[in-house]
Amino acid sequence: MQRTIKREIRSLEEIFLFLGEFTGSHGIGPEGAYGVTLAVEELFTNMVKYNPQGDPDILLSLACDQRNFVATLTDCGGIPFDVTQAAEVDTTKSLQERPVGGLGIHLVRQMVDTLEYHQNGRCGTVTIVKNLEQSDAFHHR
């Protein structure tokens, strides 16, 4: 299933509804649903914030089988950004040293099993995969 989503933060409500319908109709459990929902929010929000010159819409596709829940976000136009190359944040810093931003990609990396980026012409596609066969905890790496 896929949907075109307007490039604005308030589109998150539509994204959550789409994800909720998909996970509900496919019997995806709360851990798988949470991990993919958070990853989609973080990646979509980055596209809205850091690629405002991109096309007005971003394409969100969802698919699953018995083993994996896969979401892809396709962002065309503007400035391509390979999110897999984003610097890792230092989560061991003290309260005063911790920056307020930058945690999103760290959470994505920890909560899904695969994060891939492909550039094809003027479009960048981020693919996230959550393995549904794992236990009831997030995949801590």
Closest CA to 70 of 25, 30, 40: 40
* Binding residues for other proteins restricted to 90-109, rule: CB under 8 A: 91-92, 94-96, 98, 100-101, 103-104, 106-107
Q: Which stretch binds other proteins (CB under 8 A): 8-16, 55-63, 114-122, 125-133?
A: 8-16
Q: For residues 101 and 121, which CB has a smaller minimum distance to other proteins in the complex?
A: 101
Q: What is the pairing mode between strands 114-120 and 68-76? A: unpaired
Determine if 135 is a binding residue for other proteins (CB under 8 A): no
Amino acid residing at 74: T
Which one among 16, 56, 118, 120 touches other proteins, defined by CB under 8 A? 16
Tell me the backbone φ, ψ of residue 115, rounded to 5 degrees. -135, 115
Going by C-beta distance under 8 Å and a sequence separation of 6 or more, which residues neighbour residue 75? Answer: 47, 51, 54, 55, 58, 123, 124, 125, 126
Q: What is the pairing mode between strands 114-120 and 123-131? A: antiparallel
* Binding residues for other proteins restricted to 34-93, rule: CB under 8 A: 34, 37-38, 41-42, 45, 91-92
Determine if 9 is a binding residue for other proteins (CB under 8 A): yes
- Please give the residue ranges that form the binding site for other proteins (CB under 8 A): 9-10, 12-13, 16, 30-31, 34, 37-38, 41-42, 45, 91-92, 94-96, 98, 100-101, 103-104, 106-107, 110-111, 137-138, 140
